[in-house]
Amino acid sequence: MHKMLDVTEQRQRKRRPRREALHRLIENDLIRRVSDDEYRRKVKRVYGGPKGAMLAACSMVSLHMPLGERLFRTRKFDLTGARSILDVGSGAGQIARHLLKYADQDAKVTCIDLSHQMLRRARNRLKSTGPDFVAADLACLPFADESFDCITCGYVLEHLPDPKPGLAEMARVLTKGGRMLLLTTEDSFSGAWTSRLWYCRTYNRKELMRLCESVGLRCKQELWFTKMHKAMRAGGICFEIEKT
């Protein structure tokens, strides 16, 4: 039995460099080739343009919208008791819509995005006077320490050349014991294609977990959209995180 396991592990190790080389070939490397300011301007143009206008439709086609809602509806990520929620990188309001639907009625939701155009789209799409909409950079959040007891951050961290300042900022504005739902693009084959489409980077699951821990954010659990996603290691990285 041990010999069979050893052979399997050796085969996996041999395949890994080939997979990583293929992913690097497909993955967009703009984030590593240009300055932070130039990359930030590129992201604003992408999300402010036609691609950004199609973001909500893309989320429906990829099933991220309905599958993401399931996380809240089934209380895999439980919003009960959250009073002040920050939605980082609200985009077209995909996650904010779930927050308004499943959070307690007296919960206050704040939506931030780097793109003013995306905030306008989110406001128009949500048709709600409840949330506050704030143009802000994840690496420099305009909020006081421990302003929120819950944060959602869906597919935003991959737009930071260095994720640590963004993670540190979210840790700063999160209360002790507060929770975060963090979704990012994984360093998989499908993640590499996502990177090419949206000019973002990808993350290794274990490395991202270590980065979170380095700024006082502990991974409580790995979440999966469905059992099939877990079996196939698909759908990207989804962590429930707690500030220690």
**pLDDT tens digits for 135-147?**
999 999 999 999 9
Instruction: Say whether pLDDT at 73 is over 90.
Output: yes
Instruction: Say whether pLDDT at 8 is over 50.
Output: no
Confidence class for position 19, pLDDT limits 50, 70, 90: low
CATH number at residue 74: 3.40.50.150
What whole-number distance in Å separates Cα of residue 171 and Cα of residue 151? Answer: 10
Domain of residue 21: give its range. Answer: 2-243
Q: In what order do the strands lie in the sheet with 148-154?
A: 132-135, 108-113, 84-88, 148-154, 174-184, 237-243, 217-222
Do the beta carbons of residue 239 and residue 207 sit within 8 Å?
A: no
Show Cβ contacts of residue 13 under 8 Å, excluding neighbours closer than 6 positions. none
User: For the chain, what is the mean pLDDT?
Assistant: 88
What whole-number distance in Å separates Cα of residue 83 and Cα of residue 90? Answer: 18
Q: What is the share, in percent, of the chain residues with pLDDT greater than 90? A: 61
What per-residue confidence (pLDDT) applies to 63? 67
Helix axes 116-126, 94-102, angle to 10 degrees: 40
Structural domain total, the chain: 1
What per-residue confidence (pLDDT) applies to 9? 44
Confidence class for position 83, pLDDT limits 50, 70, 90: very high
